Amino acid sequence: MTETAVRAGAAVALSGLRKRFGEVQAVDGIDLVISPGEVVALLGPNGAGKSTTVDMVLGLSTPDGGRISVFGKAPREAVVAGQISAMLQSGALLDDATVAEAVGLIAALHRKPMPVAKALAQAGITDLADRRCTKLSGGQKQRVRFALALVCEPDLLVLDEPTVAMDVETRRAFWQQMRAYTDTGRTVLFATHYLDEAEEYADRVVLMRSGRIVADGSVAQVRAAVSGRTLRAVVPGALDLELPGVRSVEQRGDQITLTCTDSDAAVRALLARYPNAHDIEITALGLEEAFLTLTGEDNR
Amino acid sequence: MNTRFLALELRRAMRNGRYLIFTVVVPSVMFLLFVSLYGGGEGTFPNGLPVTTSLMMNMALFGVMAGPLSIGARIAVERGLGWQRQLRLTPLTGSGYLFTKGALSMLVALPGILLVCVIGAVEGVRMDVPQWLGVLATLWLGAIPFVLLGIVIGLIASPDGMQAITGLASMVFGLLGGIWIPADVAPDWLATLMKALPTYWVKQLTQAPFVSGVDVEQALLVISLWVAGLSLIAVRRYRAQS
């Protein structure tokens, strides 16, 4: 299939996407194609440009440059057609309406909404229908936002940091519900800064940093990369370290940093060869390191 | 216009306790209070209008202002809450949103007018059916500039500042508009100011069938200018925000 054909059939296709806020280049040239049915995590630290990207995909803000298509349409057209919907990060709940009323209001605006009761059931908040939106916990509010997003039966659901206000238990329950939804073949794009969430629920993980995509891979690739360890030590007189189980070496004076595939083998060999090595520290790879290892890309 | 959405918005507005008190109950209570202050409203004002009739019109006009201003203020709150962002993820257009709020304002202005007029009838206001209909229609259509004023405030004010601005607006448009004091007793400079406000002219139009010397043309001109000006500000402001 040609590049154009892939884009034409894509749920989301971004090319050369840019957005600047004053001095800050929030999104700095993003190319991304998401196929229908994919569950994609947009991962990155705060300020990476995730929310800005999400806003542009939803048509809530206009890019400075580049192109966006959602199911082959402009974002706003896809919104009007009820094909894309989103769970927004914060706010967005009326203080003087009940849960059922808020969902009913949004349903009334869509062309082919699902019944309000069904949306509440799918979001697991049937019992909250008559509660005021202000009298809910953070996790409950997020479920209401989920129901607001579901009610138009979108083909693509965008979630901007969906579990940010939830405790561990609620998070798990939320993702179970989401699973049930994605199992019906819907496309989901969710922004998060929790690696474990991305790992567990996404088919594909896209890492953003400073407005760019720095890595893009399958969950299996991420998992493999994350299983590595970093070994740091002070090794007086170390020269040309060649150790088993080590993928790469970084050395600053006596201070070495080893990226390991097998840190146990590496530390045994290190101590055998350099008994005076000290301040040894072995840590699991951080999110960014994992990704950089994964792609062999280092633009620091 | 999406009538189902409007109906749901209306139900939400009607359930709001503050709305019910300030826009439905207060005008009627004030009306009864004034009637008793004026000794049961037996007499007539110098312009020939019976006291009770005149007070009824003034207090209904007060309700006409209060309802739309409170709906407009909700726009500021909805902006602050991020609810408008949520709405932008639906087929509702920006103008659709403003039209819905406008229609909603017109609808919430009605109960206050009707209640004051029912109490007026009980208190002895006597008019024939066409006159009643004329008064009700004039008062209701007279809500249009205040509907727009409410929307403009909703688009300009922050959720925190909205209360103060709404209060100030109902002071300026109510007090200076001649709801509480007639323009005839004001000094010239103040009377000129009062006659620049839509409130004064809506009141004049309401009284027109009963008293002589109302300049209907000027009334329509001033009100139209307000409607045009406020519409322009609302549209510009809305465009700037989206």
Check if A114 contacts B (Cβ < 8 Å): no
- pLDDT tier, A138 (very low <50, low <70, confident <90, very high otherwise): confident
Top pLDDT among A213 and A166 is at A213
Check if A91 contacts B (Cβ < 8 Å): yes
Q: CA-to-CA distance for B225 and B207, rounded, in angstroms?
A: 21
Distance from CA of B138 to the nearest CA of A (A): 32
| Mutation target among B1, B16, B86, B160 for the A interface, most CBs of A within 10 A | B86
Is residue B86 within 8 A of residue A108, CB to CB? The reply is no
Interval B36-48 mean pLDDT = 78
Is residue A141 within 8 A of residue A102, CB to CB? The reply is no
Distance from CA of B89 to the nearest CA of A (A): 6
Q: What is the interface size between A and B, counted as CB pairs within 8 Å?
A: 66
Task: Quote the number of domains for chain B.
Answer: 1
- Count of residues in chain A: 300
Interval A99-120 mean pLDDT = 93
* 8 Å CB contact of B90 and A90: no
* 8 Å CB contact of A82 and B82: no
Q: CA-to-CA distance for A205 and A50, rounded, in angstroms?
A: 13
Is residue A147 within 8 A of residue A125, CB to CB? The reply is yes
| Mutation target among B89, B95, B104 for the A interface, most CBs of A within 10 A | B89
Residue among B135, B168, B151 at smallest CA distance from B226? B151
Check if B192 contacts A (Cβ < 8 Å): no
Query: For position A291, what pLDDT does the model report?
Result: 61
Which residues in A lie closer than 8 A to residue B15 (C-beta atoms)?
96
pLDDT surpasses 80 at B233: yes
pLDDT surpasses 90 at A137: no
Interval B18-29 mean pLDDT = 84
Q: Which two tokens stand for residue A25?
A: 């280049």
Sort strands A278-284 and A24-34 into parallel, antiparallel or unpaired.
Answer: unpaired
Which chain B residue is nearest to residue A151, measuring alpha carbons? Answer: B90
- For the sheet containing A278-284, what is the strand order? A246-252, A255-260, A229-234, A278-284
Least confident of A204-213, A237-246, A274-283, B89-98: A237-246
- For the sheet containing A187-192, what is the strand order? A84-87, A156-160, A187-192, A39-43, A204-209, A212-218
Check if B17 contacts A (Cβ < 8 Å): no
Q: CA-to-CA distance for A210 and B77, rounded, in angstroms?
A: 33
Alpha helices in B123-171 (DSSP H): 129-141, 144-156, 162-171
Full domain range(s) for residue B207: 3-241
Distance from CA of B87 to the nearest CA of A (A): 7
Distance from CA of A109 to the nearest CA of B (A): 6
Q: Which of B2, B77, B83 sits opposite A109 (nearest CB)?
A: B2
Distance from CA of B11 to the nearest CA of A (A): 10
Residue A2: how many other CB atoms lie within 10 Å: 7
- pLDDT tier, B102 (very low <50, low <70, confident <90, very high otherwise): very high
| Mutation target among B19, B90, B101, B242 for the A interface, most CBs of A within 10 A | B90
Query: For position B242, what pLDDT does the model report?
Result: 66
Please name the residue that has the structure tokens 């790469």: A248
pLDDT surpasses 90 at A242: no
pLDDT surpasses 60 at A139: yes
Q: Which two tokens stand for residue B73?
A: 């203020």
Residue type, B144: I
Residue A44: partners with Cβ closer than 8 Å, 6 or more residues away: A50, A191, A193, A207, A208, A209
Give the CA distances from residue A250 to residues A224, A228, A294, A300, in Å, rounded to whole numbers and listed in that order: 21, 16, 17, 14
pLDDT surpasses 70 at A7: no
* 8 Å CB contact of B90 and A152: yes
DSSP output for A129-194: TTSBTTSS-HHHHHHHHHHHHHTT--SEEEEESTTTT--HHHHHHHHHHHHHHHTTT-EEEEEES-
* 8 Å CB contact of B90 and A106: yes
Query: For position B29, what pLDDT does the model report?
Result: 92
Q: CA-to-CA distance for B138 and A31, rounded, in angstroms?
A: 59
pLDDT surpasses 70 at A297: no
| Mutation target among A77, A98, A106, A150 for the B interface, most CBs of B within 10 A | A106
Which chain A residue is nearest to residue B10, measuring alpha carbons? Answer: A105
pLDDT surpasses 50 at A149: yes
- pLDDT tier, B35 (very low <50, low <70, confident <90, very high otherwise): confident
Interval A211-236 mean pLDDT = 79
Query: For position B129, what pLDDT does the model report?
Result: 92
pLDDT surpasses 70 at B44: yes
Check if A98 contacts B (Cβ < 8 Å): no
* 8 Å CB contact of B2 and A90: no
Query: For position A56, what pLDDT does the model report?
Result: 94
Mean of all residue pLDDT scores within chain B: 87
- pLDDT tier, A4 (very low <50, low <70, confident <90, very high otherwise): low
Q: What is the pLDDT of residues A39-73, one digit of tens each?
A: 999 988 778 899 999 999 999 999 999 999 999 99
Residue among A5, A49, A43 at smallest CA distance from A27? A49
Query: For position A1, what pLDDT does the model report?
Result: 47
Q: Which two tokens stand for residue A99?
A: 């849960």
Residue B6: how many other CB atoms lie within 10 Å: 17
pLDDT surpasses 60 at A6: no
Query: For position A286, what pLDDT does the model report?
Result: 62
- Tell me, rounded to whole angstroms, the distance of Cα B21 from its chain centroid: 15
ipTM tops the 0.85 cut = no
H helix and E strand count, chain B:
12, 0
Is residue A112 within 8 A of residue B91, CB to CB? The reply is no
Please name the residue that has the structure tokens 């409170």: B70
Which residues in B lie closer than 8 A to residue A104 (C-beta atoms)?
8
Alpha helices in chain A (DSSP H): 3-8, 50-57, 75-80, 99-109, 116-122, 138-150, 168-182, 195-201, 219-226, 263-273, 287-295
Interval B146-156 mean pLDDT = 92
Give the CA distances from residue A87 to residues A54, A233, B168, B196, B233, in Å, rounded to whole numbers and listed in that order: 11, 45, 37, 48, 32
Query: For position A222, what pLDDT does the model report?
Result: 65
Residue type, A1: M
* Range from A33-42, A158-167, B159-168 that averages highest in pLDDT: A33-42
* 8 Å CB contact of A94 and B82: no
In chain A, % of residues over pLDDT 70: 89
Torsion angle, alpha carbons of A44, A49, A50, A51, to 10: 140
Distance from CA of B158 to the nearest CA of A (A): 15
| Mutation target among A51, A87, A105 for the B interface, most CBs of B within 10 A | A105
Interval B102-115 mean pLDDT = 92
Q: CA-to-CA distance for B55 and B59, rounded, in angstroms?
A: 6
Q: Which of A59, A94, A148 sits opposite B81 (nearest CB)?
A: A94
